[in-house]
Amino acid sequence: MTDWWRGSVTYQVYPRSFQDSDGDGIGDLPGITRRLGHIAALGADAVWLSPIFPSPMADMGYDVSDYTNIEPLFGTLADFDTLLTVAHELGLKVIIDQVISHCSSEHPLFAESRRDRTNPKADWFIWADAQPDGSPPNNWLSVFGGSAWEWDTRRRQYYLHNFLASQPDFNFHNPEVQDYLLGTMRFWLERGVDGFRLDTVNYYFHDAKLRSNPPLALNAVPVNPYDMQDHLYSKTQPENLAFLERLRALTDEFPNRMMVGEVGDAQRAVEVMGEYTSGQHRLHMAYSFEMLGDHYNAAFFRRAIEGFFKGAPDGWPCWAFSNHDVTRHASRWAGHGAMADVARQAAAVLLSLEGSVCLYQGEELGQTDTELDYSDLTDPKGLRFWPEEKGRDGCRTPMVWDGTTHGGFTAGTPWLPVKPPQIGRNVAAQEGVAGSVLETYRAVLAFRRANPVLRLGASRFHDLPEPVLAFTRHLGAEEMLCIFNLGTAPVTVAVEGHPTAPSFHATQEGGALTLGPNGFAWLPGGTLQAR
Three-state SS sequence of 291-340: CCCCCCCHHHHHHHHHHHHHHCCCCCEEECCCCCCCCCHHHHCHHHCCHH
Contacts of 70 (CB under 8 A, 6+ apart): 29, 52, 53, 54, 76, 77, 79, 80
Confidence tier at 21 by pLDDT (50, 70, 90):
very high
Dihedral of alpha carbons 448, 451, 454, 456, sign: positive
Structure confidence at residue 239 (pLDDT) = 98
Contacts of 329 (CB under 8 A, 6+ apart): 292, 321, 322, 343, 346, 363
CA atoms lying within 13 Å on the CB side of residue 134: 2
Average pLDDT, the chain: 97
Rounded CA separation 329/514 (Å):
26
Pair 259, 248: CB distance under 8 Å? yes
For residue 520, CA distances in Å to 172, 433, 490 come to 47, 20, 11
Q: What share of the chain is helix, strand, coil (3-state, %, to 5)?
A: 30, 20, 50
Q: Are strands 93-98 and 195-198 parallel, antiparallel or unpaired?
A: parallel
Do 68 and 33 contact (CB within 8 A), yes or no? Answer: no
* pLDDT, tens digit (0-9, with 9 covering 90-100), for 44-103: 999 999 999 999 999 999 999 999 999 999 999 999 999 999 999 999 999 999 999 999
pLDDT tens, position by position, 421-470? 999 999 999 999 999 999 999 999 999 999 999 999 999 999 999 999 99
List, in order, residues 6 or more apart from 463 with CB less than 8 Å away.
none
pLDDT of residue 531: 63
- What percent of the chain clears pLDDT 70, i.e. is strictly above it? 100
Confidence of residue 1 (pLDDT cuts 50, 70, 90): low
Chain center to CA of 51: 13
**Identity of the amino acid at 382:** G
DSSP letters for 16-32: GGT--SSSSSS--HHHH
What CA–CA distance (Å, rounded) separates 405 from 526? 48
> Where do runs of H (alpha helix) occur along 436-517?
437-450, 452-456
Confidence class of residue 384 from pLDDT cuts 50, 70 and 90?
very high
CA atoms within 13 A on the CB side of 275: 16
- Preceding peptide of 56 cis, ω within 30°: no
Which CATH code is given to the segment(s) 9-104+175-447? 3.20.20.80
Write down the H helix ranges in 23-168: 29-42, 77-89, 108-113
Which amino acid, residue 83? L
d(CA 510, CA 302): 28
Instruction: Give the strand order in the sheet containing 285-288.
Output: 285-288, 258-263, 195-198, 93-98, 46-49, 9-13, 356-360, 318-319
What CATH architecture does domain 457-528 belong to? Answer: Sandwich (2.60)
Partners of 127 in the β-ladder: 159
Q: What is the pLDDT of residues 2-20, one digit of tens each?
A: 799 999 999 999 999 999 9
Identify whether the C-beta of residue 379 lies closer than 8 Å to the C-beta of residue 392.
yes
Please tell me the distance from the alpha carbon of residue 418 to that of residue 221, in angstroms, as a whole number.
34
Determine how many CB atoms are found less than 10 A away from the CB of residue 129. Answer: 10
What pLDDT, in 10s, does the model give residues 185-213?
A: 999 999 999 999 999 999 999 999 999 99
**Contact predicate 103/266, CB 8 Å:** no
Query: Is 199 noted as a catalytic residue in this protein?
Result: yes
Q: How confident is the model at residue 270 (pLDDT cuts 50, 70, 90)?
A: confident
Q: Is position 207 annotated as part of the catalytic site? A: no
Q: Is 509 left (phi over 0), alpha (psi -120 to 50) or beta?
A: beta
Residue ranges of the chain assigned to CATH 2.60.40.1180: 457-528
pLDDT band at 266 (very low <50, low <70, confident <90, very high): confident
* Distance from C-alpha of 326 to C-alpha of 346, rounded to nearest angstrom: 16
368, 422 contact by CB (below 8 A): yes
Average pLDDT over residues 158-175: 98
Active site residue: 253, 314, 371, 496, which one? 253
Q: Which residue has the higher pLDDT, 402 or 311?
A: 402
Given the residues 45, 63, 79, 199, the one annotated as active site: 199
Largest CA distance in the chain: 80
